[in-house]
Amino acid sequence: MDNNNKVTSKVIETEVPLGTVHSAAIEPYRVRLFVEDEIVRDAELTVGVNHRGIERIMEGLPVEKANSLTEKICGICSNSHLWNSCLTAEKGLEIDVPPRAEYIRIIMEELERLHSHFLYLAHGSEVLGHETFAMRLFYIRETVMELLRMIGGNRVQYGVSVIGGIRPRCDLNEMKIQKISEGMNYIEEKIGEFADRFVRDPMVMSRISGIAAITKEDARRLATTGPSLRATGIEVDLRRDMKEYEPFEFDVITQDTGDVKANLLMRVLEIPEAVKIIRQAIKDLPDGKITNRSWEMQDTGIIRSYIEVPRGKLYHSYSLEDGRVRNSIVRTPSITNINTMEFACIGTHITDAQLAIVQCDPCFTCTDRAVKILDEPFRNITKI
Amino acid sequence: MDTTMIINSILAVIGTLILAFAVSIWLPGIERKFIHARIQQRVGPPVSSPGFMAPIKFFFKQVLTPNSPMPRLYNALPLISLIIIVFILLVIMPQMYSFAALASIIAVIGLLKVEEIMYMFMGSLSKSVMSVGMPFPDLVKGAKHVNETRSFIEELSTLRAFRLIAFGSFPLYIALFVPVVMAKSIFLTDIFAFQQIHGPVLFTVAGAIGAIVYFIGFMIMLNEYPFAIMKTKADVIEGPLLEYMSKYRAYVYITRGFLIFVLASLFTTMFLGIPPNIFSWNILVTIAVAIIFPIAMAVMSAFSPIFTFRQFYPVVAATSILGVLAIVASVL
């Protein structure tokens, strides 16, 4: 195999196509596994089944409408998309967001990180074949979902951020703060119990230790992002560079081995950090306005914004023309991680291949939006 | 043998079979409702659903031709499996001990092997739509390997079924030889007689170790988590059973329930000296074991991930060594 993840040998025993519909894959994507004696020698992962063309729909929409449309990109990181889309406009139009709104946005983002990580751990356990862990993790996650519903009004599309701040209904009062505090106590206790049970289980550890390991060098070469990158030992977290996170103290979690175990532990250990940030945010929540309405619309060039979402780096960019969105591009972390997923499959047992993909926390339905035609006559099509 | 005795024997055999069927249809429900669901803190299906109502439902579903090169043979395999398992139960009934050659541990093992081989046939004869490749050359992303030979995921199960036959079911068979060595006979009648005189094999050191080994073999035989490699949903989904529908799927469900009962009966016969016989109160012990085994199995599987061959080989090897130790202990 060469450095570009291509098999140099022509001899491949057989191909096992998994998907686009498969019981271990909760989203429609296609994996071609090229195997020899049940060991994966090469892999190819393609998306395109659920193409929705959201960027195309956003083109020409008023910016507020376009922002709320980005929330529909993902059912897990809906807040992240909306927040980043609003951030893009705020950056381009130089809008100052009131500190109270910043804090509530951070609380929402970290709650979303919690529910995403619990979802990851539950899905990982299910692919591992440990249904009991999966079920119990979903129960713990339910607390977070209820908190999200309490703040945003919905369990999936919260609609918290607007340009210049947050919606009035999403403001926090004493009762809500109390409930968030209780929820965090519960989460911290439960994740501690789970982590203890998890790392002491020899059967689970034997399934995940040393499986689908990615080295630092490979992670850099494959442009891995998010917790999957940090699982290889590279300390990169965009939250460190975001001014919104400046008031908060938290540790950037890293692991060394880059395997399934490291990836799972990454999420387990990031949960208390998210809890820590939420606790700081509710403790120091500033008083005052929640929305800055004193700004004017104007035309802009291409505005770019990156934020750290539960799965990695999220990119939004668009320009504004008469208050409408032009040249919109969204890049989710999963598109960045597809190469890593393919690479992680290689060398694993075929049963572990799905686990190797899941370890990068894929979200393909969110990734599946735009198609770029590279050459005529539509022979080579690449997702962007 | 007088006429009354013959009639009694026939009634005992038929009665035991009916009882076995009546008990076996509840076993999957007990396993799933009372153990799996309770451990996972969920309601679970009605206790009659997996073993009783589901087969009834499937019997009234439309029969379609499965995607198989030999659909009739493929559909017949669960029924053949069921017949084989029923035959095993017949063999271990005390009324059948007069058929000396059949009522031996070798015959039982042979029949169990045939039952195992059925999964290989099922896998080879199943070609599910899940594995069918695209009808045009796959050029997305430049396609790493164009027009590669594609494997049906059930073919992987076939290979795994073969491996299970080759080494996976070792623990169960080794454990069955513990009473054989102690009774110094392969015939069930001698093993039964030995335990009448010396007490149950289970209550000896060798028997206790053998029982543990048997239980692990029981789980492997039933392809239950963590030993469900043949039908793991992370890759082969349901493996050989994927294409079964309507009444043929009903046979699959009934076969599994019946296999649980038969393996429990085999355990009581070999380790407790209690063969299944409806005319004896000891049948309650057989029923109790038939309920305890799936309950214990459900507890084990609820707390374990699925094994790949990386874990499977050492576990089977260790259990087999334990079984060999039990045999050595039974000699001493």
Give me the mean pLDDT over the B267-273 stretch.
96
Whole-number pLDDT of residue A6: 46
Contact yes or no for A21 and B130 at CB 8 A: yes
Cα of A273 vs its chain's centroid, Å: 16
The minimal CB distance from A44 to the residues B131, B141, B307 is found for: B141
So what's the pLDDT on residue B47? 94
Nearest to A350 among B36, B156, B302 (CB): B156
d(CA A252, CA A241): 12
Q: Which residues pair with A166 in a beta bridge?
A: A161
Q: Which of A98-102, A376-380, B21-25, B89-93 has the lowest mean pLDDT?
A: A376-380
Q: What torsion, rounded to 10 degrees, do the Cα atoms B16, B36, A356, B156 define?
A: 10
Tokens of A242: 């975001």
Q: B176, B214 in Cβ contact below 8 A?
A: yes
- The answer to whether residues B303 and B150 touch, using CB atoms and an 8 Å cutoff, is no
Do B305 and A130 count as a contact with CB atoms less than 8 A apart? yes
End-to-end CA distance of chain A: 26
Asked whether B168 and B174 are in contact (CB, 8 A), the reply is no
Helix/strand/coil (H/E/C) assignment for every residue in chain A: CCCCCCCCCCCCCEEEEECCCECCECCCCEEEEEEECCEEEEEEEECCCCCCCHHHHHCCCEHHHHHHHHHHHCCCCHHHHHHHHHHHHHHHHCCCCCHHHHHHHHHHHHHHHHHHHHHHHHHHHHHHCCHHHHHHHHHHHHHHHHHHHHHHCCCCCCCCEECCEECHHHCCCHHHHHHHHHHHHHHHHHHHHHHHHHHHCHHHHHHHCCCCCCCHHHHHHCCCCCHHHHCCCCCCCHHHHCHHHCCCCCCCCCCCCCCHHHHHHHHHHHHHHHHHHHHHHHHCCCCCCCECCCCCCCCCCCEEEEEEECCEEEEEEEEEECCEEEEEEEECHHHHHHHHHHHHHCCCEHHHHHHHHHCCCCCHHHHCCCEEECCCCCCCEEEC
CB pair distance less than 8 Å for A42 and B145: yes
- Cβ separation of B145 and A129 shorter than 8 Å? no
Contact A266, A255 (CB under 8 A): yes
Residues 3-42 of A with CB under 8 A from B: 6-7, 12-18, 21-24, 32, 34-35, 38, 42
ipTM here: 0.91
Mean of the pLDDT values across residues B97-124?
A: 91
Residue range B318-327, pLDDT digits in tens = 999 999 999 9
Q: Provide the residue type at A224 as one letter.
A: T
Residues of A in contact with B225 (CB under 8 A): 129
Q: What is the pLDDT of residue B148?
A: 72
Q: Which chain A residues touch B232 with a CB distance below 8 Å?
A: 129, 351
For residue B148, the chain A residues in CB contact (below 8 A) are 12, 14-15, 32, 34
Q: Does B219 touch chain A (CB under 8 A)?
A: no
Shortest CA gap A40–chain B (Å)? 12
Percentage of the residues of chain B whose pLDDT score is greater than 90: 79
Least confident range from A373-377, B119-123, B270-274: namely A373-377
What is the average pLDDT score of chain B?
A: 92
Q: At CA B153, angle to CA B150 and CA B159, rounded to 5? A: 100
Residue B138: pLDDT above 70?
A: no
pLDDT number for residue B139: 58
SS3 B150: strand
pLDDT, residue B118, reads: 96
Asked if A206's CB is within 8 angstroms of B41's CB, the reply is no
User: CA geometry: angle at B265 spanning B264 and B269, to 5°?
Assistant: 120
Residue A375 has what pLDDT?
Answer: 54
**Choice among A5-9, A101-105, B111-115 with the minimum mean pLDDT:** A5-9
Nearest CA among A234, A200, A238, A237 for reference residue A218: A234
SS3 call for B23: helix
Residue B159 has pLDDT above 70, yes or no: yes
Assign A1 a pLDDT band (cuts: 50, 70, 90): very low
Query: Which of A228-237, A257-266, B89-98 is predicted with the least confidence, judged by mean pLDDT?
Result: B89-98
A–B CB contacts, 8 A cutoff, strictly below:
121
- Nearest CA-CA distance, residue B210 and chain A, Å: 23
Nearest-CA neighbor of B243 among B226, B258, B255, B231? B231
Distance, in Å, from the CA atom of A53 to the CA atom of A249, rounded to the nearest integer, reads: 38
> Does any CB of chain A come closer than 8 Å to the CB of residue B101?
no
B104 SS3 class: strand
Tell me how far apart the alpha carbons of residues A205 and B75 are, in angstroms, rounded to a whole number: 40
Cβ–Cβ contact B40 with A under 8 A: yes
- Lowest average pLDDT, out of A16-30, A169-183, B28-42, B164-178, goes to A16-30
- Cross-chain CB nearest to B140 (options A24, A34, A381): A381
Smallest CA-to-CA distance from B103 within B111, B113, B92, B115 is with B92
Determine the pLDDT at residue A53.
Answer: 84
**pLDDT, mean of residues B229-258:** 92
* Structure confidence by residue, pLDDT tens digits, A130-180: 999 999 999 999 999 999 999 999 999 999 999 999 999 999 999 999 999
- Model confidence at A8, pLDDT cuts 50, 70, 90, reads very low
**Neighboring chain A residues of B142 at a CB cutoff of 8 Å:** 380
Q: Does B139 touch chain A (CB under 8 A)?
A: yes
In contact, A229 and A312? CB cutoff 8 Å: yes
Find the residue in A nearest to B309 (Cα): A349
pLDDT at B55 over 60: yes
Better-predicted residue by pLDDT, A3 or A247: A247
Q: Are A78 and A63 in contact (CB under 8 A)?
A: no
CB contact under 8 A, B308 and A351: yes
Separation between Cα atoms, residue A262 and residue A243, nearest integer Å: 29
**Mean pLDDT to the nearest integer, B135-160:** 75
**Residue B145 backbone dihedrals phi, psi, to 5 degrees:** -135, 100
The pLDDT, as a whole number, for residue A382 is 47
Chain B residues touching residue A132 (CB < 8 angstroms): 39-40, 302-303
B36 contacts on A by Cβ (under 8 Å): 131
Average pLDDT over residues A347-372: 86
Asked if A15's CB is within 8 angstroms of B148's CB, the reply is yes
Coil, strand, or helix at residue B187? strand
Contacts of A194 (CB under 8 A, 6+ apart): A121, A133, A136, A137, A140, A268
Cis? peptide before B45, omega within 30° of 0? no
CA distance A184 to chain B (A): 22
Instruction: Tell me whether strands A324-331 and A312-321 are parallel, antiparallel or unpaired.
Output: antiparallel
| Confidence band, pLDDT 50/70/90 cuts, at residue A5 | very low
Q: Is residue B229 within 8 angstroms of chain A, CB to CB?
A: yes
| CA–CA dist A333, A329 (Å, integer) | 13
Mean pLDDT of A186-199: 95
Q: Which residue, among B230, B235, B315, would best test binding to A if mutated, counting the most A CBs under 10 Å from its CB? A: B235
Residue B162 to chain A, least CA–CA distance (Å) = 13
Q: Comparing A374-383, B71-80, B200-209, which segment has the lowest mean pLDDT?
A: A374-383
> Do B145 and A34 count as a contact with CB atoms less than 8 A apart?
yes
Is the predicted pLDDT of residue B128 greater than 90, yes or no? Answer: no
Burial zone of A92 (CB within 10 Å; 0-12 exposed, 13-18 middle, 19+ buried) = buried
Two tokens at A199? 């790392």
pLDDT above 60: residue A282: yes
Q: Is the Cβ pair A12, B148 closer than 8 Å? A: yes
**Which residues in chain B are contacts of A125 at CB distance < 8 A?**
305
Q: Is a pLDDT exceeding 70 seen at residue A215? A: yes
What was the pLDDT predicted at B262?
97
Nearest CA in chain A to B315: A203
